A and B are shown apart, each in its own frame.
Chain A
Amino acid sequence: MTQVKKRVVVGMSTCNMAAGADEVFDFLKEKVAGGLDVKLSITGCLGMCYAEPQVQVFDEDGTRHLYVGVNANRIAKIVDDHIIAGKPRDKWIVKYDEGDTQKLMAKQERIVLANSGIIDPDEIDDYLAVDGYAALRTVLEENDRMQVIQTVTDSGLRGRGGAGFPTGLKWKFAYGYENDKKYIVCNADEGDPGAFMDRTILESDPHAVLEGMIIGAFATGADEAYVYCRAEYPLAIKRLNRAIEQATEKKLLGDNILGKGFNFHVHVKEGAGTFVCGEETALLASIEGRRGMPRPRPPFPAESGLFGKPTTINNVETWANVPWIIRKGAEAFAAIGTEKSKGSKVFALAGKIKHGGLVEVPMGITLEEIIHEVGGGTGTNREVKSVQLGGPSGGCVPRSLFDTKIDYDEVNKTGAIMGSGGMVVMDDTTCMVDVARYFLNFTQIESCGKCTFCRVGTTRMLEILTRICDGKGVPEDIETLEDLADQIKNTSLCGLGQTAPNPVLTTLRYFRDEYEEHINDKKCRAGKCRELCIYEITDDCNGCMVCAKNCPTNCISGEKKQLHVIKQDDCIRCGVCRDVCKQDAVIVK
């Protein structure tokens, strides 16, 4: 009989490691080398990025203890007290059925993230142990390609990259075009700033994505695939390559898969840092070694895609849903969600939010539930003002519309888009004009330059927004912005241009008063636009000197326990004093 040992599992995703997980892992590795009798392994991301690094300790009887915020000091104590002496350090353990963590987990529906933070992404046996590749086996046994497409169609799965095109229909198109060569492409060029769903999925459960792609290839008749992944995600690329190697060894990839005569090869292609390559035709041009510029559709990639061959392109999260749908059936998937948006959606919560991280919620949940229940609100005494959905293609939804349901069509009604899943929460220290300027700056840089209105129009919009933020706006600016937005949307070839004005249009729609204040009163209520605000210290100041110590220009004077004063000539309006003041004594005028 094999001796049962304690197991220690360290979360090792990019953000875990940035928070110090690699040091914790190295410490444990040394301990094990020195004789500590535990089974040490790694896992991906649990989604609780706000409490990283995380270490899970499984006792001999299988009881799981999840330690959060594990730094070098804590891990040494966990080893001594829990692993060696058998006394868990309850203070650092979180439980799924208590307090904040209960709220975080209760409303989640984990399909894509089911294995994230549980299995070791570098070990195919871990994936196989949780029914991995069972869906592929079923599909190959039954050998009915049309049935696979029908199941995906019936499930109601829609593209998780943002546009929400029905996946089954896309596969059916590719199936219908006769050709001796067809391709599969996995779009992992997650370019939206504020989004990290696909990175985490690839780092935590790469085999689920591969299995989905193999099934898609079998159904549509493809024998070769490319995963187009951002070069900024080195760990995701490493884990994916390892997964491909292991799957090939197990005959789940390559020639004559599982002895069924089906061949399929996957290549990983590193992107080169260009947002527009997330657009499918630009992505294909990039794989072909050209400048990543979009082309008109039709023909759609399903008919003429990579190297002119029928190609099925889906994003990482879409592929990762497929094995679950095959295993559990279309009905089980369609039972979750709303009438037209089925299943779950992974969101990356960031910005002014207490529980920043990755969550997977059922479609149909409201924004209010995600932000205030799952996400825990701002976690400060400030109020949520707005949430930005869909990155540079999306928009800012105000608090008053937080009863909006997560559903492709409902979100579209607000002027934002579902997008790939970035959710950046903003409070009253965020200036909405500045946010619009920020996104226009992004799209203006990233526009490939092919369409005139996108190239020149975004530049003109950015100039106007910059002018408004600098206090030089004129009343006509708002109308000009709306005109330009309309023209860019209507005359651009691809999604980048068609959606680039959305951040401006939604902020104009919901936060017009902020624009008017900037233009007419030369005032920025958020204290963000430097030309338009003055920071002052009120009588609430207790003279703690924290602001003075943190001021980068040393322009705050005042003795201990005496009222402090900001010397306006030297103040650069960076807002540090307001951020650090515990008395809320720093105000913006």
Chain B
Amino acid sequence: MTIDLALIDAIVTDKGVDPTRAIPVLQAVQDKFRHVPLQAIERIAATTEMTESQLYGVVTFYSQFRLTPVGEKIVKVCHGTACHVGGAEGLTESLESRLGIKDGENTPDMKYTLDSVACVGCCSLAPVVMVEDKVFGKLDRKKAAKIIDEYDSSGGSR
């Protein structure tokens, strides 16, 4: 996949060229492409004071950044303490079997990515699953799988 380098240049112009701006620049790149393409890192390094090694170091250090493409909807199962105690493992298992993929993988049609996250801070609704920015609380195995059914039947818009 080749990316439009003009988009990267626009982000750099907006966020800044100084090495201290590495994280906001990369966050904007990921917002745009849903992952950080290696080409973007090369382009940023070529046009700013940041180096490829700094950018790659930052991308691989922070868990927010991804170097590979993701599905249209990221399904994040919260594995915070309250969710763990409340059965988060079962939700991951249920979603794995519903989506036919393992935790961390994309569905072959690139509609969903299944992921585990540390804590989304909605502990009183544990266990929870987040689809993009929407939180679903007080789930069990069945309800977790049903979320996907609802997204599927609404054509992904819900």
Contact = CB atoms under 8 A, between A and B. Distances in A.
> Which one of B24, B57, B85, B125 has the greatest number of beta carbons of chain A within 10 Å?
B85
Interface stretch (A10-18, A128-136, A252-260, A509-517): A10-18
B71 interface: no
A550 to B, nearest CB: 7
A350 B124 contact: yes
- Chain A, interface size category, equals 35 or more
Interface stretch (A231-239, A407-415, A452-460): A231-239
B153 interface: no
B67 interface: no
Given A18-B135, A438-B81, A576 B141 contact: yes
B5 to A, nearest CB: 22
Closest 8 CB pairs of A and B: A49-B124, A350-B123, A272-B62, A18-B135, A193-B80, A194-B81, A356-B124, A193-B119
B126 interface: yes
Contact of B81 (A17, A19, A193, A288): A193
Interface string B113-126: 00001111111111
Contacts of A59: none
Contacts of B133: 234
A351 B121 contact: no
B82 A273 contact: no
B129 to A, nearest CB: 10
- Chain B, interface size category, equals 35 or more
B125 A289 contact: no
Given A270-B27, A350-B81, A574-B141, A191 B118 contact: yes
A424 B85 contact: yes
B153 to A, nearest CB: 19
Given A191-B118, A289-B58, A15 B124 contact: yes
Contacts of A49: 124-125
Contacts of B58: 272, 289-291
Nearest to B86: A351
A302 to B, nearest CB: 21
A168 interface: no
Nearest to B57: A291
> Which one of A15, A19, A272, A349 has the greatest number of beta carbons of chain B within 10 Å?
A272
Interface string A515-558: 00000000000000000000000000000000000101000000
A141 B27 CA distance: 42
A352 B85 contact: yes
A100 to B, nearest CB: 15
Contacts of A352: 85
Given A193-B79, A438-B84, A233 B64 contact: no
Contact of A351 (B65, B85, B90, B142): B85
A175 interface: no
A389 to B, nearest CB: 11
Given A289-B50, A430-B85, A579-B87, 15 more contacts: A15-B125, A15-B137, A49-B124, A191-B119, A194-B80, A231-B64, A272-B58, A272-B62, A274-B63, A352-B85, A356-B126, A435-B84, A435-B85, A552-B94, A575-B90
Nearest to B22: A289
Given A232-B120, A291-B58, A348-B123, A424 B142 contact: no
A193 B19 CA distance: 31
B120 to A, nearest CB: 6
A422 B118 CA distance: 14
Given A272-B63, A575-B87, A18 B121 contact: no
A487 B69 CA distance: 40
Contacts of B50: 289
A234 B24 CA distance: 15
B99 interface: no
14 contacts: A14-B135, A15-B124, A193-B79, A196-B121, A270-B24, A272-B63, A272-B64, A274-B61, A350-B81, A350-B82, A356-B123, A388-B81, A442-B118, A572-B93
A391 interface: yes
> Which one of A289, A290, A293 has the greatest number of beta carbons of chain B within 10 Å?
A289
B111 interface: no
Interface in A190-205: 190-196, 199
B54 interface: yes
Contacts of B20: 287-289
B21 interface: yes
Given A196-B122, A350-B123, A442-B118, A19 B62 contact: no
B128 interface: yes
Contacts of A199: 121
Contact of B121 (A14, A52, A271, A435): A14
Interface string B78-118: 01111111110010011000000000000000000000011
A196 B123 contact: yes
B44 to A, nearest CB: 12
Interface in A75-92: none
B23 interface: yes
A351 B83 CA distance: 8
A292 B62 contact: yes
A426 B86 CA distance: 10
B78 to A, nearest CB: 8
Contact of B62 (A274, A388, A391): A274
Interface in A543-589: 550, 552, 572, 574-576, 579
A348 B119 CA distance: 13
